[in-house]
Amino acid sequence: MRWHRKPPRLTSVGSLLWPWLCAASVALSLLMLATLLTLLAARGLGHFWPATLEQVTLRSGETVIGQPVREAPLPNAAGTERLYFTGNRDLDGDSWRWVALGDIAAVAEPNDLIRLERAPWGDFIGRLDVVESAGQRFEGEAAWAFVAQALRLPDGQRPIARLQLTSAQGDTVSQPLAGVTRFQAPNAMSWSQKVAVWCKRIWQFLSEGPRSANTGGGVWPAIFGTVMMVMLMSVIVTPFGVLAAIYLNEIAHQNRLTRLVRIGVRNLAGVPSIVYGVFGLGVFVYGIGGSIDSWFFEDTLPSPTFGTGGLLWASLTLALLTLPVVIVATEEGLARIPDAQREGAVALGATRLEMLVRVVLPMATPAMLTGVILAVARAAGEVAPLMLVGVAKLAPQMPVDGEFPYLHLERKFMHLGYHLFDTAFHGEDVQAAIPLVFATALLLVLIVLVLNLTAIFLRHYLRRQRGNEC
């Protein structure tokens, strides 16, 4: 006969409020997380949508063509003004213009407005009049079709052509086709065409390299560098953290020295990350890297090979940064294993090493993966130490290529966190970089989420396998 205990009755006001306060805290945390992701997605992914261009006629008779961005009250609170992205930095000296709503006489959305992304002057917004190529002359829709078809070809196969453009003020610009990277006529697009362009631009953002001082192009080198660095860091930190935790919990005598070591490890987890960066610069880069150069790369000196920041030193620095997290998580997992499991294995004839390898470590594997998850979450978002030990604004060579030894640990690399920082604060046009900042931040959050989910699913799988064996 099975007996069921009734749950205790909640009588006091505090007992009644406590569950509701806990539930409200969880709900508030989830709401804040959802708000953050929604903001990043709306501001970041919205940047790739081909926005409608407006032709604004002012009461003074002046014409402004651009993309409306946002509205704000005037400084004297007498009305509202609207910010337009007008492009044409080579003509006007600036790509942005505020227009007071009270000064607007008419707003139109003509289908013949186009937007070109050029190098090096950025976007041009206006009209495409004529395309001249190999003695041929294209106008109107034929000119649009010629440019769109030419941009689909690889760079080496594009025809030599020159575009005659007209700005909102009537200025004529002669633009070579070789300097054009993207062509759009958003007002003439259907909804399905805009969706197709939106998907294509997102793919280009994920698969191409940066352009225009990181305010254009994509972030593929930064994605690759971030994932590669996190993987190397995980491979380095996991064995050292697990071995240190095993020694502290299973082998070392539990005395005052062991307690001091544990206190030191926990305190290291709170050291500012820039301190680890300084340590990595002094010990790894200048100390070990300089010694390697003097021993094996003397012919290349004074140009350093390993004596400068690179992927290897960045991974080692972040491994040192996250080592206390792995040690603490693994040791807590080892401490939760009942002593009866150890005593039973020894009683059945297992040696101490066999007991650790076949009984203790499999049971502590989920705790080890928890430490790795926390280490990945912290390492993927760190920027300060990387600025000292290997990250670069633009890395012309990838750490992995087809040349022997294929993985070049001495090379500098790009990182999404540093790319986010550099785009937000060091770009030539901060206003244009804001949408890319949101898009890069969303991508960084998603990468950390994917890496963590991979470790979580692996931990869940190992737990199920352990349960099936039992």
Statement to judge: residues 228 and 369 lie in one domain: yes
Statement to judge: residues 342 and 233 lie in one domain: yes
Cβ contacts of 66-74, under 8 Å, gap ≥ 24: 66/97, 66/125, 66/168, 67/115, 67/125, 69/96, 71/101, 74/100
Is residue 301 a part of any domain in this protein? yes
What letter represents residue 247's amino acid? Y
Statement to judge: residues 121 and 149 lie in one domain: yes
d(CA 124, CA 136): 24
Statement to judge: residues 241 and 150 lie in one domain: no
d(CA 214, CA 164): 28
Summarised one tens digit per residue, pLDDT across range 285-337 is: 999 998 888 888 888 878 888 888 889 999 999 999 999 999 999 998 898 88
The total domain count for the chain is: 3
Confidence (pLDDT) at 432 = 81
Q: What is the band of 8 on the pLDDT scale with cuts at 50, 70, 90?
A: low
Statement to judge: residues 121 and 263 lie in one domain: no
What letter represents residue 332's amino acid? E
Mean pLDDT score of the chain, rounded to an integer? Answer: 87
Statement to judge: residues 147 and 280 lie in one domain: no
Query: What is the percentage of the chain residues whose pLDDT exceeds 70?
Result: 95
Domain boundary among 108, 123, 152: 108
- Which of 81, 67, 298 has the alpha carbon at shortest distance from 184? 67
Distance of CA 442 to the CA centre of its chain: 7
Is residue 27 a part of any domain in this protein? no
Confidence (pLDDT) at 243 = 92
Residue 116, strand partner residues: 124, 183
Q: For tokens 């005052």, what's the residue?
A: 256
Residue 144's domain comprises: 113-188
Domain boundary among 188, 206, 232: 188
- 75 vs 32 pLDDT, higher one: 32
Phi, psi of 145 (to 5 degrees): -65, -40
Distance of CA 440 to the CA centre of its chain: 5
Confidence (pLDDT) at 428 = 72
Q: What is the band of 377 on the pLDDT scale with cuts at 50, 70, 90?
A: confident
Q: For tokens 């829709």, what's the residue?
A: 141
Is residue 344 a part of any domain in this protein? yes
Summarised one tens digit per residue, pLDDT across range 80-98 is: 999 999 988 888 888 899 9
The token pair at 150 is: 């030419």
Phi, psi of 304 (to 5 degrees): -75, 150
d(CA 270, CA 272): 6
Is residue 33 a part of any domain in this protein? no
- 297 vs 1 pLDDT, higher one: 297
Confidence (pLDDT) at 1 = 43
d(CA 64, CA 168): 6
Is residue 29 a part of any domain in this protein? no
Confidence check: pLDDT of 9 > 70: no
Confidence check: pLDDT of 439 > 80: yes
d(CA 311, CA 294): 20
| DSSP designation for 382 | -
Summarised one tens digit per residue, pLDDT across range 380-435 is: 888 889 999 988 888 777 888 777 778 888 889 999 989 888 888 876 777 888 88
Is residue 391 a part of any domain in this protein? yes
Is residue 165 a part of any domain in this protein? yes
Are 232 and 315 a contacting pair, CB within 8 Å? yes
Summarised one tens digit per residue, pLDDT across range 215-250 is: 777 889 999 999 899 999 999 999 999 999 999 988
For residue 396, what is the domain's CATH number? Answer: 1.10.3720.10
| DSSP designation for 360 | I
Is residue 444 a part of any domain in this protein? yes
Confidence check: pLDDT of 6 > 70: no
- 206 vs 5 pLDDT, higher one: 206
